[in-house]
Structure 1
Amino acid sequence: MKVRNVALGVALLAMGSMAQAAPDAAKVQDILSKNACLACHAIDKKLVGPAYKDVAAKHKDDANAAQLLAKHIKEGSSGVWGPIPMPPNPNISDADIKLVVEWILAGAPQ
């Protein structure tokens, strides 16, 4: 019985350490502002591009979503959300892209 309890405790601890809080929304907003992302995107409504919450919903069950979104941010994309292409953002750092993608996939919390 004790071994089972220890095993369960270890499993729960491991699962808890894998859970990650969404990145700080204020820091992400600063990244979005400084890289002109907010000219085309909003958190909860479509502008030129999709709302961040819509992007999160579309990719919620996609195991490759983080890589895909990071690539779209860095290299741009076309035909994903309609005819208007997303321009590439080659000057945004990989660390900033990682924070933004984590925030989006967490549901774009405010």
Structure 2
Amino acid sequence: MKSVVNITRLGAAALAVAAFSISGHAFAADAVAAEKLARQEGCLRCHGIERGKDGPAYKEVAAKFRGKADAEARLLHHLSSGEKAKFPDGHEEEHKIPKTKDMDQIKNLVQWILSLT
């Protein structure tokens, strides 16, 4: 019985560590809330999670920024500034800015995107 409890504690500790650091990025504290926000804000009209649409897939974005110290800051800037997004056909459009002004929600979204593998 004692070994089962120890194994359970080790498993819980490992999950806790994994939840805070995946591929060098902080894991989204609430992946469900992040995906809900992406749907509400219309992000998933242009971005797929697994496959690109008009914009790159979120997994491609995560791969592009993996290991870069400024990844979160760059994505936060991209989402909040309305800077130009470049499309595969060469045209550019201003990236839509989320309507929510809650930076914690936007940070959670960015962390979720960066956690995708």
Same fold at TM > 0.5: yes
- In structure 2, how many angstroms separate the alpha carbons of the residues matched to 1:62 and 1:81? 23
TM-score, normalisation: structure 1:
0.70
TM-score, normalisation: structure 2:
0.67
Structure 2's unaligned 5+ residue stretches are 1-16
- 1:76-97 CA-partner distances (Å, limit 9, x unpaired): 2325564343523152221111
Answering whether residue 99 of structure 2 is matched by residue 91 of structure 1, we say yes
The 5-angstrom pairing of residues 1-110 of structure 1 reads 19=21, 20-78=26-84, 82=88, 83-92=91-100, 93-107=102-116
The structure with the largest strand share of the pair is 2
Residues 49 and 55 (structure 1), Cα distance of their counterparts in 2 relative to 1, 3 Å cut: same
Structure 1's unaligned 5+ residue stretches are 1-15
Residues 65 and 37 (structure 1), Cα distance of their counterparts in 2 relative to 1, 3 Å cut: same
Structure 1 residue runs of 4+, over 6 Å off?
Answer: none
User: Equivalent residue of 1:72, what SS?
Assistant: helix
Percent sequence identity over matched residues?
32
Q: What is the one-letter code of the residue matched to 2:34? A: V
Corresponding pairs, count = 93
User: Equivalent residue of 1:85, what SS?
Assistant: strand
The answer on whether the counterparts of 1:72 and 1:88 sit within 8 Å (CA) in structure 2 is no
